[in-house]
Chain A
């Protein structure tokens, strides 16, 4: 029961965080792109809950939820969206790179599929170092059409690496339906080409995602190699906020998925299992306060100094930058 409450808390955190971020973006407080994953919270949290704190994970451009799923602090995440110096990336990454290495994140690349080889490399590092850390690699249905995905699946398979390939199949790559762009019915079918076990799971069902990912993590941790887990889920929003309406008419599809909202489903499940309505309300109030505090923290934080644009290109600033005078 504790794990269901904790999962509920993290899922609500993601939902509230993204909902409020969208509002702040609309008010002009958050610059740049913002890709939300509303509707996918059970897939994200179910996968993350199967990990140990010291396990690694690699995200994507749609990755606000991944660090939250792995229990990152909200304030540095929100401050990053607000482009502040207190942001988790010091204001140099933003929404598409909301990666918190303190919870095991190894980056969120905004180039579709390019994080997948990185996950393979992290798993190789764990294997060579002789530790039992597992790397969870998030990607989408669209990324499964990238060469990086196929090369990575092959490498992980021949080297028996401790990595879990976790596909959040949310049905669309920007505006292109997976059914139109993917040669197989299920992304999981692609695992067979790499002699890799796979599982398909209802991505709106937290417990199902958690159980499937736990099996894959256990296989990886015990030295039996990679697994591909495909969570069938759905993105409620357009590809990115402010992009306008680019999805084709989804018909009643959206309503059908909304009727199986992952947070509602878990809520119902907890209550049916004897959980308390009061406890859930308290979680929601707690999370709401956390998100508001994160927004206040972000608003109160400074923008980074211009000079910081030259930090972190390398471990140490190099001479080539010394003469630069910004023309602001």
Chain B
């Protein structure tokens, strides 16, 4: 069946709600189904398990933590990613740390879902891609799916996982469609990267919405005889370093592409990891294609140019391909 990114989220939630009575969904305006990820859920599971909340992010994110500690498996729909900021204390001090500071006495099987709406003239406060900052907070697993099939399979794995998982859902992918099996155990394991395109000359490690851009760029340069491999980590924590490194050892030339701001981005972290572990294999400097460190402006014509584009990726491919230390 051809399934959209949004429908993949809905299906994952529906199937896991059906599979396990302990799973419930809460968030702002989920009953009214603003984005289409809850179609039919209220009718199927009732208002206790499909629960609208007041605009109290710190309160209901913390409530998810407490409910998970007593055996429930909450999914919190935080709507858009920056709405997690009022709940940062709960995410960083309670959710990330409770298993640790109590020596494993606490388990917090919960999922925080956050959509990232950028590139839509929503200005700086509504356009964040904040997943990198959570990589620096141990105790949180992080998924950033790049296609409907991975979205469904990763979200289902996240809901079944015994640890807190943050799901960052890239709004630029919403209209994508994939063929997805009807198998209700269609799971994509956390911590396993996927090579989205095979190649031998250049490795691109791309995150979320950057993955289809990287594939387009790879196709564009294929005409010139450049063979590009595209690796999608899919989960940032745990990070599948081995799949990335295997590709780097093969190509020796690397670009990391990340819609987040460049400083301390996932592109930066992966670049550093590669430089430390695969330096002898590198034949060119690692290049990052990310969003420059300015805010996201409202005006579409000055917003769109800031994010990674196919053109910027092609330029980077040519730079690393033609680089010579001589």
Name A residues whose Cβ lies closer than 8 Å to a Cβ of B.
56, 58, 87-93, 97, 99-101, 106-107, 109, 111, 114-126, 128-129, 133, 135, 147-148, 151-152, 154-155, 158, 311-315, 318-320
Contacts and interface: CB of A to CB of B under 8 A. Distances in A.
B102 A89 contact: yes
Contacts of B103: 87-93, 312
Interface in B65-109: 65-72, 74, 86, 89-90, 93-94, 98-107
Contacts of B139: 313-314
Contacts of B62: 114, 116-118, 120-121, 148, 152
A94 to B, nearest CB: 8
24 contacts: A56-B70, A87-B103, A89-B102, A90-B103, A91-B103, A93-B101, A101-B106, A107-B101, A107-B106, A114-B89, A117-B59, A117-B63, A118-B94, A120-B59, A120-B62, A120-B66, A122-B70, A125-B67, A126-B70, A128-B24, A151-B54, A311-B104, A318-B191, A319-B191
Given A117-B66, A315-B107, A111 B162 contact: no
B203 to A, nearest CB: 20
Given A107-B69, A107-B94, A125-B66, A318 B237 contact: yes
Contacts of A117: 58-63, 65-66, 90, 94
Given A89-B105, A119-B66, A121-B74, 6 more contacts: A99-B102, A101-B102, A117-B62, A120-B66, A125-B71, A152-B63
B65 A318 contact: no
B238 interface: yes
Given A107-B69, A114-B94, A155 B99 contact: no
> Which 3 A-B pairs give the minimum distances between C-beta atoms?
A121-B66, A117-B62, A151-B59
A122 B67 contact: yes
Given A128-B48, A314-B139, A107 B58 contact: no
Interface residues on B, range: 35 or more
A315 B163 contact: yes
A152 B147 CA distance: 37
Nearest to B135: A320
Contacts of B240: 319
Contact of A151 (B58, B64, B241): B58
